[in-house]
Amino acid sequence: MNFGACLMRREKCPSKDVIVVAGDLNGHVGGAKDGYSCHGGFGYGSRNADGERILECAELHNLTIVNTVFRKRDSHLISYYSGSSKSQIDVVLVKDRDRSLVTEAKILPCETVAPQH
């Protein structure tokens, strides 16, 4: 099931429920809002096509990407490292109306648990 179809299923939830969607969506929403109300303006890096689709889907479903709402140092935004490449691919979304319930959203940097082979 794709991300958009999954979001459509949330329509079946009672309207009073608080819904949190979080995960590695493998898209780069970038650091700038660029007119998207779902983006808080504090992301990391540049946007790619998958990130654009995440933003469009969030706008369509009245969701806010809360881990772009709070100003953070890069180490609390970056969720993927590979050699010299790094990016923010994990996103946390909530309904726009529930945005005020979220007071913090960040990546917790840690050492690699198992070496990569």
Q: What are the extents of the domains in the chain?
A: 3-100
User: Is the full-model pTM beyond 0.75?
Assistant: yes
CA dihedral angle for residue 94, residue 98, residue 103, residue 108, rounded to 10 degrees: -10
User: Could you read off the pLDDT of 93-105 as tens digits, one per residue?
Assistant: 999 999 999 999 9
- The DSSP annotation for 23-83 comes to EE------S--TT-TTB-S---S---HHHHHHHHHHHHTTEEEGGGTS---GGGT--EEET
User: Could you read off the pLDDT of 23-34 as tens digits, one per residue?
Assistant: 888 899 999 999
Specify which residues 80 forms β-bridges with. Answer: 87
